[in-house]
Amino acid sequence: MKKLLALVMALTMIMTMAAALATTDDGKLTIWTWDPTFNIAAMNIAKEMYQKDHPDVEIEIQEVLSEDIETNVTIAASSGDLSTLPDILLVQDNSFQKFATNYPEVYMDITDAYNFDGFGEAKVAYSVLDGRHYGIPFDAGTVVGAYRTDYLEKAGYTIADLKDITWDKLIEIGKVVKEKTGLPMFSGQAGSVDSIMIMMQSCGESLFNEDGSVNLKNNETLKKIIDVYSTMVKEGIYLEVNSWDEYIGTLSNGSVVGTFQGCWILSTIMSLADQKGKWDITNMPAMSNVEGATNYSNNGGSSWAIINGKDTDLALDFMQLYRNVDFYNAILPTTSAIATFAPAKEAPAYTAPNEFFNGTPIFATIVEYTGHVPSNITGAYYYDARNAVSTAITNALNGADIDAELANAEDTVNFAMGF
C-alpha cells in the first residue's frame, strides 16, 4: 500500500514537473518555423542583427514543420492553454484566415501595433480579417513565368515574345513550340489546382464573394480559366503529372519549356547547376476577355503571427526588423526569400544581375511584380473550395459537363459551410 502511494505521488510529481517545463520564461523569444535553408536561415540572421543591439535578449528558433505548427495551434487553442505555443510562429498564407477565424484568441491583433506601409497590398490581405491585421508578411509568392530560352530559341522565339501576353497568344506559341521541340510548355500536378488558383488571382477573382458566400456556380471567369486550362491539357501544351516530385522532375529533366509558379520555385531552378544561363523570367500570361485581368499573381508564401499572452512587446520590437531594408538585403543571398516590402527592391542584393537567368536582376523584377498583384479572398473555407474545384476540373477533363460540375462543387462547399 505504501509503495502504491509512493508510486502515485511520484507520478503526480512527474506531471507537475512536465507542466512546469511547458510554461515559458520571460525575456526570451521562442520562434517556430520550418525550413532550415529558407525561413529558419532568415530568422537566424534576424536573431544576429537583433542581438547586436540587445545582447541580453535570448532568442530560440525551433524547427517545427508547418503541419505540426497547425496541429499544435489547434490543440493549444482547443484546450484553452496557449502556454505551449512560442512567441512567434510562421503561418502559411492560405490557411491564415482559417486559423484566425476559428481560433480568434491565438493570434495577436497587431493593427495598431505595427506599421504596414510598404508591404504589398495583396500579401497583407492574407492575414487581414474583418479589417484587423494579424500577421507580418514574410516571403512573397509572386508568380513568375520562367522559361528555358534555349528551347524557345529552337522554336524561333525569345523571352520578349512571352512578356505581357495573353493566354490565347501563349497557346499559339505553345503549339509551335510543341511542334518544333516536342515538349509541353508547362507542367503541373493533376488535381492540385495551383495553376487555376494562380490564374484566378491574376484576374483579382476569388472562389468567394465579398460577403463570404461561395462563388463557383456562376463564376464566368472561373469557367473561362478552366476552358483555357483544358485546352492546354488537350493540346499537350500543359502536362499533368501526379505528384509534386514528378512536377519538379519535369523541370530538372528539362522535359518542359517553362513553368508559371510562385517565385520560390526559382531557388529550385537555381539548384540545377547544369541549366545555368538557360533560364530567364518574365511575367505570366493574362486572361483575355476578363475585366481586371493582369499578368501578375501570387502562389504560396507565409506570414509571421505573434501569440497572445506571450512576450508580445518584445516580439513586436523584434519584428520591426521586417521593415528594415538592410535585413532583406542580408537574407536574400543565402535564402532567396523575396521581400514583399517594396523599399527592399533598391537594396544592392536585389538590383544585382543574376548569372543564372542571363543577367536579369530577377529579385528586383519580382518585387516590382509584387506591387501589381491583385488581392483575392481566401477565407476560412479556402481549402474546402479548392478541393471542390479540383474535383470539378478533374471530372470536366474526363468529359463531364463543367456547369453541372461547378454547381456540384458549390453545393459541396455550401454543405461544409452549413455546419
Minimum distance of another protein from residue 191's CB (angstroms):
4
Among 62, 78, 158, 252, which residue interacts with another protein (rule: CB under 8 A)?
Answer: 78
- HEC profile for the chain? CHHHHHHHHHHHHHHHHHHHHHCCCCCEEEEEECCCCCHHHHHHHHHHHHHHHCCCCEEEEEECCHHHHHHHHHHHHHHCCHHHCCCEEEEEHHHHHHHHHHCCCCECCCCCCCCCCCECHHHHHCCEECCEECCEEEECCEEEEEEEHHHHHHCCCCHHHHCCCEHHHHHHHHHHHHHHHCCCCEEEECCCCHHHHHHHHHCCCCCECCCCCECCCCCHHHHHHHHHHHHHHHHCCEEEECCHHHHHHHHHCCCCCEEEEECCHHHHHHCCHHHCCCEEEECCCECCCCCCCCCCCECCCEEEEEECCCCHHHHHHHHHHHHCHHHHHHHHHHHCCCECEHHHHHCHHHHCCEHHHCCECHHHHHHHHHCCCCCCCCCCCHHHHHHHHHHHHHHHHCCCCHHHHHHHHHHHHHHHHCC
By CB under 8 A, residue 412 contacts another protein: yes
| Shortest Å, Cβ 297 to another protein | 23
Selected from 74, 267, 275, 360, the binder of another protein by CB under 8 A is 74
For another protein, the closer CB: 93 or 240: 240
What track of x and - describes contact with another protein for positions 25 through 64 (by CB under 8 A)?
----------------------------------------
> Minimal distance in Å, beta carbon 74 to another protein?
7
Q: Which member of 42, 199, 241, 257 binds another protein (CB under 8 A)?
A: 241
Which range, of 77-85, 198-206, 320-328, 358-366, touches another protein by CB under 8 A? 77-85
Smallest gap from residue 141 Cβ to another protein (A): 19
Residues lying near another protein in the complex (CB under 8 A): 4, 67, 70-71, 74, 77-78, 80, 98, 101-103, 105, 190-191, 240-243, 245-246, 380-381, 383-384, 387, 390-392, 394-395, 398, 408, 411-412, 415-417, 419
